[in-house]
Amino acid sequence: MATSTPDYGTEPLEVAGPEHPEWGAELAPRRPIARKTLHDSIVESLRDMIISGQFPPGAKLPEKELCEYFGVSRTPLRESFKVLAAENIVELLPSRGVRVTQTTVEDIDEIFEVLGVLEALSGELACLRMSDAEIADIRELHERMVEHYERGERMPYFKINQEIHERIMAGAGNRNLADVYSRLTGRIRRSRYLSSLSDRRWKQAVGEHAAMLNALESRDGERLFRILREHLKNKADAARTTLLEAESHSPSKGSSES
């Protein structure tokens, strides 16, 4: 894999157009990021913008405007682009900039199908291998997640939700399993967020997480395996429905590939 910085070309990246009018307005001022947290802060902020839909699938990231927004030069911003590209959240286009990765219905079906098995296995193994203290930490995370749900705070809820899944995966104690999982999950991170946009599904997901916690605390690996398989299937169904609804209301993507 090449390690040199990609050539993004000399042309400024497109900011907004008829397909993505939300970027027609100027970005709100933001204080420069402290140097010690520069890289992680930019990556996290960009990831949140993409997951929440501020940059929709297929949109190009406006490099100049993002540099001004974060108060940084192009070098740290481009390093952040490479991290997101490694997570399959964006695509680096030689001489054409950076574009948010587009996810198809086929991607959702196929990736969630695999992740359902991986996460179910991780849950079964975690019941055997996690310490009581690690499980107690997950309960604490769950309670914080529920508080965000009750306040209607989707992004904070989503972040803790993902951390719970990642803690269970780490608790399985299988590096190869975790490696395969990490290479796939970035590709459908936004789809996981979309899966809880409806109030009905969001409430259902919270209930499923409560059942997951109960099985983990009981160290009932077989039950947690089944719960996680069903949980991921429900996520896939909800994400597919949301994506199809969005596509039915979106204009033709004809010029987005140029």
* Interacting residues of 156 by C-beta distance below 8 A, sequence separation 6+: 148
More confident residue, 39 or 64: 64
d(CA 28, CA 136): 40
**Of the ranges 153-157, 213-217, 233-237, which is most confident?**
213-217
CATH number at 105-249: 1.20.120.530
Does residue 13 surpass a pLDDT of 50? no
* Interacting residues of 88 by C-beta distance below 8 A, sequence separation 6+: 101, 186, 187
Q: What is the largest CA-CA distance in the chain?
A: 58
pLDDT, one tens digit per residue, over 82-91 is 999 988 899 9
* Interacting residues of 117 by C-beta distance below 8 A, sequence separation 6+: 229
pTM of the model: 0.75
pLDDT, one tens digit per residue, over 177-222 is 999 998 888 888 888 887 877 899 999 999 999 999 999 999 999 9
Quote the tokens at residue 91.
């695509």
Does residue 17 surpass a pLDDT of 80? no
Look at residues 171, 182, 141, 143 and name the one whose alpha carbon lies nearest to residue 159.
141
Q: In the chain, list all ranges with CATH 1.20.120.530.
A: 105-249
Q: In the chain, list all ranges with CATH 1.10.10.10.
A: 21-102
CATH number at 21-102: 1.10.10.10
